[in-house]
Homo-oligomer: A and B are copies of this chain.
């Protein structure tokens, strides 16, 4: 197949050629000085991206592995925890905490709803939760929560906020220290523009203290075992050295762009995507607001099965977008606009969707989505 491919799913995301090349360098030994220098620089860059002075631990594992490390290190059997869930990834936190036999309470919203800080405060107080798990960007719905307010509400209720920032870190503002986020979990394969396989946890002093008390069994994901790597750059287990080299290069690119610029770019991409979709007469499932700038979930018109749109985009145009989960699968598709992405990726996605809709006999003025998206992008970046 000579066809050109476009990866527009909300993760893994397209990786810049420079980053792929960095990951294809000859393998270096993980206990040698070359790797130590690389690892320490990478951790420093992660601290900058997370905007924290807290310790940052890097795992060779996908984001769910870093999730699990947060549960295993913070939660002992019987501990009361609150999982805020409004989508697939919130559900994963609840399942994880159940696997570790926590006393798991849920603050459950319909998929697509935006969690509210007041609800979190009330539910954390009512349940006596010691830890609150919150998803920043719920990739399954496109909702980005107000983590600053939710973290404050958690602390007000005496609970430690643990934030899933897998798809948000580097795309939308996240202030680990300024917002008092005790633990932030993220992955390499979203806005950090790196292949999947690495994940990150930031650990505040209070979280280190809690980890000392956790009785849950753990080894590979044991935070304490990784602590020495913060000073020495040497990990207890062989790390994915080629992915660390890739991540280091990608973080360098992100910091060179500047985080504030990256946040504005993602907000503008999100707005362009939403305006273009609306211009075609499509209804949004994800919120029509600047904060939800990671992935746009779009409902298909009545009578058009979203699964067929996803399939046709891939088979006919080489474009990979994501479908909806479970019962949402026939109703919506999701365009990720995360990381190594610009407005012409948005117009490509919209043009392809338009093309399919016109074929289906939809009443769409050809070109309108692309034109509107470009306008919206220009407006957004010039604001």
Q: Report A155 CB to chain B, min CB distance, Å.
A: 27
Instruction: Kindly list chain B residues whose C-beta atoms are within 8 Å of the C-beta of A197.
Output: 60, 197, 239-240, 242-243
Q: How far is the CA of A337 from the CA of B60 in the complex (A)?
A: 25
The answer to whether the Cβ of A179 comes within 8 Å of any Cβ in the partner chain is no
The answer to whether the Cβ of A11 comes within 8 Å of any Cβ in the partner chain is yes
Docked complex: A58-75 residues within 8 A CB-CB of B: 60-65, 67-68, 71-72
The answer to whether the Cβ of A238 comes within 8 Å of any Cβ in the partner chain is yes
Instruction: Kindly list chain B residues whose C-beta atoms are within 8 Å of the C-beta of A314.
Output: 32
Q: How far is the CA of A216 from the CA of B219 in the complex (A)?
A: 13
Docked complex: A12-31 residues within 8 A CB-CB of B: 12-15, 20-21, 23-31
Interchain CB contact under 8 A, B27 and A12: yes
Q: How far is the CA of A156 from the CA of B7 in the complex (A)?
A: 53
Instruction: Kindly list chain B residues whose C-beta atoms are within 8 Å of the C-beta of A270.
Output: none
Q: In the complex, which of the residues A11, A68, A322 has the most CB atoms of chain B within 10 Å of its own CB atom?
A: A68
Q: How far is the CA of A21 from the CA of B17 in the complex (A)?
A: 12
Instruction: Kindly list chain B residues whose C-beta atoms are within 8 Å of the C-beta of A20.
Output: 24-26, 242
The answer to whether the Cβ of A100 comes within 8 Å of any Cβ in the partner chain is yes
Q: Report A215 CB to chain B, min CB distance, Å.
A: 9
Q: How far is the CA of A15 from the CA of B27 in the complex (A)?
A: 7
Q: Report A377 CB to chain B, min CB distance, Å.
A: 24
Q: In the complex, which of the residues A25, A60, A95, A218 has the most CB atoms of chain B within 10 Å of its own CB atom?
A: A60
The answer to whether the Cβ of A145 comes within 8 Å of any Cβ in the partner chain is no
The answer to whether the Cβ of A280 comes within 8 Å of any Cβ in the partner chain is no
Instruction: Kindly list chain B residues whose C-beta atoms are within 8 Å of the C-beta of A11.
Output: 238
Q: In the complex, which of the residues A13, A62, A222, A242 has the most CB atoms of chain B within 10 Å of its own CB atom?
A: A242
Interchain CB contact under 8 A, A12 and B238: yes
Q: Report A354 CB to chain B, min CB distance, Å.
A: 22
Q: How far is the CA of A187 from the CA of B64 in the complex (A)?
A: 20
The answer to whether the Cβ of A129 comes within 8 Å of any Cβ in the partner chain is no
The answer to whether the Cβ of A237 comes within 8 Å of any Cβ in the partner chain is yes
The answer to whether the Cβ of A356 comes within 8 Å of any Cβ in the partner chain is no
Q: Report A60 CB to chain B, min CB distance, Å.
A: 5
Interchain CB contact under 8 A, B218 and A99: yes
Interchain CB contact under 8 A, A15 and B26: yes
Q: In the complex, which of the residues A14, A25, A62 has the most CB atoms of chain B within 10 Å of its own CB atom?
A: A62
The answer to whether the Cβ of A344 comes within 8 Å of any Cβ in the partner chain is no
Instruction: Kindly list chain B residues whose C-beta atoms are within 8 Å of the C-beta of A236.
Output: 64
Interchain CB contact under 8 A, B32 and A14: no
Interchain CB contact under 8 A, B238 and A63: yes
Interchain CB contact under 8 A, A219 and B95: yes
The answer to whether the Cβ of A241 comes within 8 Å of any Cβ in the partner chain is yes
Q: Report A88 CB to chain B, min CB distance, Å.
A: 12
The answer to whether the Cβ of A261 comes within 8 Å of any Cβ in the partner chain is no
Q: Report A77 CB to chain B, min CB distance, Å.
A: 8
The answer to whether the Cβ of A378 comes within 8 Å of any Cβ in the partner chain is no
Q: List 20 A-B contacts (CB under 8 A).
A: A5-B26, A7-B26, A9-B31, A12-B30, A13-B27, A20-B242, A23-B24, A23-B242, A60-B61, A60-B197, A61-B220, A62-B237, A64-B219, A64-B220, A64-B238, A67-B220, A96-B219, A99-B219, A197-B242, A197-B243
Inter-chain pairs besides A62-B220, A100-B217, 14 sampled, C-beta below 8 Å? A5-B28, A12-B27, A12-B238, A14-B27, A23-B23, A29-B320, A31-B322, A63-B238, A187-B238, A195-B243, A196-B240, A196-B242, A197-B239, A216-B217
Of all A-B residue pairs in the complex, the 6 with the closest CB atoms, nearest first, are: A197-B240, A24-B24, A195-B242, A64-B237, A20-B24, A62-B237
